[in-house]
Structure 1
Amino acid sequence: MTEPVVPASEYYTDEFAVDPYPTFAELRENAPVCLVKGPRFDSYLISRFDDAKAALTDPRLSKDLYGPGQHYLRIFGPNSEALNRNMLNSDPPEHSRLRRIVSQAFAPRRIEALRPRVAQIVDELLDKVAPRGEAELMHDFAIPLPMKVISELIGIPKADHDQVLDWTQVIRTSGSSKNPERDRAAVQEAQLRLHHYLADFVQAKRARPADDIVSDLIAACDRQGTLSESELVTTTFLLLFAGHQTTADFLGNATVALLTNPEQLALLRADPELLPAAIEELLRFDGPLPVASPRIAAEDVEYQGVRIPRGSVVGVVINAANHDPAHFADPDRLDLTRERGPHIGFGHGVHYCLGVSLARMEAQIAISALLHRLPDLRLAVPAEELRRLPAASPFRGLLELPVRFTA
């Protein structure tokens, strides 16, 4: 079968950035495997739940972007290797080796021990905004909360938090300006500065270890020779970026979903025991990672009768799959009482989100505190006027989230 081809101009639109789900529904129905011709590279998108779940564990769809094919060049550009050559972009056994080392730092007991500190950071952030009666929740709360948590876990000095956050936000908001050339230059500069900072940071931790994840990784590396120096740096970057980016965007998306579905918000206020199930439903409903990180077809593969040629970039559309009516009744409706279903918001297979326990814990504490600390919380602008990350961004999130509440 000849695959449907969708030009980027039809897919990456302003309307899509506001609400991608009508487009996802059309793809699932009429082009469940299609080639999207993007501004930097073309990719095959897989949008039905069963196909998406299968693709996430398909060994023919490689995550090794930095191997002989050097596929990272067309996806991330020439300056990405210093930060992005990590376990996210690798296959077993390399991925297994790296994940095994890092997973020890995310043991459930260690994460649960962080609960009081996370609650303290949440209270500190809300103490600053609660008396004002209004806030910009992305800048004031959703972004700094997970950034502070992961920075402390990693061991980044408090004096450096704001600078590191600035660099990561340049990368996160790539494509938001009206000047793409200047935008790319700013991202490259931020990547370079962040790489230099993390390389120096790892060296400083080796000289003065402490009770943090990076010190643990260095100790494991020095004892067993399990991580190279460059892997220490790229792993630190992955933990830093993945540890706050998606959680920040999730908190923004979840807040908007609740405020625009008042009957569901009322349910949650009336029954706080719903919170764990609500987090799962909010993630299914409007997750922060619409398309899983890229895969490369290591050989010709076929999905839905469409041949995907060897060497093609493949994107698994998580947010489309999580709205598949074949698996979720009335999928475009937010239902906090929905039975916990098999959503793939945290991925599936060997690349299942390593920080899932931390993300769930942060989300539960943050959402609960927002509802209790900011009475009568409401959007300050109509939902359709909220400024979002550009349609071509790999993330679904907000640039700003202005709200009002009773001071």
Structure 2
Amino acid sequence: MQPIDAATIVADPHGTYAALREAGPVHRVPGADGKPAWLVTRYEDVRAALADPRLSLDKRHAAPGNYSGMSLPPALDANLLNMDPPDHTRIRRLVVKAFTPGRVEKLREPVRRAADALLDGLGPEADLISAYAGPLPITVMCDLLGVPGDDRPDFRSWTDALVAPDPARPEAAREAVGHLIGFLSRLLAAKRAEPGDDLLSDLIAVRDDEGDAAGGRLSEDELMSLAFLLLFGGYENVVHLIGNTVLALLERPGLAAELRKDPDGLPGLVEEVNRWDGPVPLAIRRFPLQDVEIGGVTVPAGETVLLSLASANRDPRRFPDPDRLDLRRGASGHLSLGHGIHYCLGAALGRMEAETAVAALLSRCQELELAVPVADLTWRPTMRSRGLISLPVRCVPSRRTGF
């Protein structure tokens, strides 16, 4: 087949991945940074690679000149997405208890209240991304970390600048990094001065506890990087999961009507959308510690490996009729949240937020439809994420709830 570039993948991700998947399990393609990378497309190969300890997340194992991805200062870069064991194990252990399914379930009612408050301000026509799907996750993460209500900045502009840089404004990414470091520095100082009943105060206590016998100390860079990752990851992916799920329903009004009558089907919908059109098309890049064979192809040590979660999740070898959204298939086993030790830390929270957001929206809107043709919707111009820039909708409020 013809060589594939990043623009082709962004323009038609599922069609392009399907062609690549059938042509072979591993392909040489340009990465998001423009440098050559090895793209893995088939389910079994992607699943095995996600848990392969020979594939490192640590950028120090990239061959010289081979990788020039997002460059962040140590204060933001010392996070779980750039770490292997034992550092990864040490830091993940400190925060994983905050995201257990039991703890997350206790947040469902506060999330529903936040969703209802946002819907109170929604008019009969609105952009559902900027007015609802965007503000909700940042409200949740700021509550979890203890960010005061009047000190919650516009994370959307910062994350846009980092995830989908504007070629016309290369300085925007640097400015966003500066804003993030300044914001997090002030927040950590405030929490040190006045600790609260929140996750960030707990992490600061671990960082500052000289007598921690469990070996669980955090460096200052690790502390700030962890706060950055929790805010960044807890915002970006959930926004797009909510948006993609709502779009799936807008294109299937019969399914939306079914779910209004039986909301118990919402967890299955969110899980299937995660498989069918999830917000994370590619796993975080990896670098082989040695020459590694993947799908019969030898990938040299230090070269960039991209694992296509979007392609694996539509591999017909694993999911029959994979291009069809089917709530009855049972989408367990999809790879959108990873596999192995790097499985998404906030998986349970993200699922719950999306389920709650869609449930609240369906409850408040007796009828919900797109305000523009589907062809006019625009997607983020990046291989790194799959999400809508905006989602204009019209809503007929429920007589029972209204606005």
* Pairwise same-fold verdict (TM > 0.5): yes
Equivalent residues in 2 for 1:91-240, closer than 5 Å: 91-129=84-122, 132-175=123-166, 180-182=167-169, 184-223=170-209, 224=212, 226-240=217-231
CA–CA separation in structure 2 for the residues paired with 1:219 and 1:346? 29
Per-residue displacement from partner, 1:143-184 (whole Å, max 9, x unpaired)? Answer: 100011001111122122134444234334424xxxx141x2
Letter paired with 1:23: T
CA–CA separation in structure 1 for the residues paired with 2:26 and 2:253? 35
1:12 pairs with one of 7, 22, 28: 7
Counterpart of 2:354 in structure 1 is 363
**Range that drifts further, 145-154 or 257-266:** 257-266
Letter paired with 1:367: V
Equivalent residues in 2 for 1:344-363, closer than 5 Å: 344-363=335-354
Q: How far apart are 1:305 and its partner, in Å? A: 1.8
Contact 2:283–2:309, Cα closer than 8 Å, also in 1: yes
Letter paired with 2:352: M
Q: How far apart are 1:142 and its partner, in Å? A: 0.5
Identical-residue share of aligned pairs (%): 44
* Alignment of 1:405 onto 2:395: yes
Per-residue displacement from partner, 1:325-367 (whole Å, max 9, x unpaired)? Answer: 0111110001112224311111100000111111111111111
Per-residue displacement from partner, 1:50-92 (whole Å, max 9, x unpaired)? Answer: 0000000011110112468688961113x44331221121001
Contact 1:5–1:35, Cα closer than 8 Å, also in 2: no
**Range that drifts further, 135-144 or 381-390:** 381-390
Contact 1:5–1:37, Cα closer than 8 Å, also in 2: no
Contact 1:299–1:310, Cα closer than 8 Å, also in 2: yes
Counterpart of 1:301 in structure 2 is 292
Please state whether the residue corresponding to 1:376 is helix, strand or coil. Answer: strand
Contact 2:124–2:396, Cα closer than 8 Å, also in 1: yes
Per-residue displacement from partner, 1:11-44 (whole Å, max 9, x unpaired)? Answer: 423xx43541111111110032001124532211
Letter paired with 2:91: L
2:35 pairs with one of 19, 37, 41: 41
CA–CA separation in structure 2 for the residues paired with 1:6 and 1:216? 50
2:386 pairs with one of 386, 396, 399: 396
Distance change in 2, residues 1:70/1:87 (3 Å): farther
Letter paired with 1:57: A
Counterpart of 2:78 in structure 1 is 85
CA–CA separation in structure 2 for the residues paired with 1:109 and 1:166? 32
Per-residue displacement from partner, 1:90-128 (whole Å, max 9, x unpaired)? Answer: 001110001000112223333222122101100000010
CA–CA separation in structure 2 for the residues paired with 1:60 and 1:246? 27
CA–CA separation in structure 1 for the residues paired with 2:52 and 2:21? 20
Counterpart of 1:23 in structure 2 is 16
Please state whether the residue corresponding to 1:243 is helix, strand or coil. Answer: helix
- Give unmatched runs, 5+ long, in structure 1: none
CA–CA separation in structure 1 for the residues paired with 2:104 and 2:13? 34
- Give unmatched runs, 5+ long, in structure 2: 398-403
**Range that drifts further, 299-308 or 31-40:** 31-40
Per-residue displacement from partner, 1:202-230 (whole Å, max 9, x unpaired)? Answer: 12211211011110001122222610111
Contact 2:111–2:140, Cα closer than 8 Å, also in 1: yes
RMSD: 2.0
Per-residue displacement from partner, 1:357-405 (whole Å, max 9, x unpaired)? Answer: 1111111111111111122101111212101100x34111011110112
Per-residue displacement from partner, 1:228-247 (whole Å, max 9, x unpaired)? Answer: 11111000000000011100
Distance change in 2, residues 1:70/1:214 (3 Å): farther
CA–CA separation in structure 1 for the residues paired with 2:142 and 2:256? 31
Please state whether the residue corresponding to 1:6 is helix, strand or coil. Answer: coil
How many residues are treated as equivalent by the alignment? 391
* Alignment of 1:325 onto 2:320: no
CA–CA separation in structure 2 for the residues paired with 1:115 and 1:341? 22
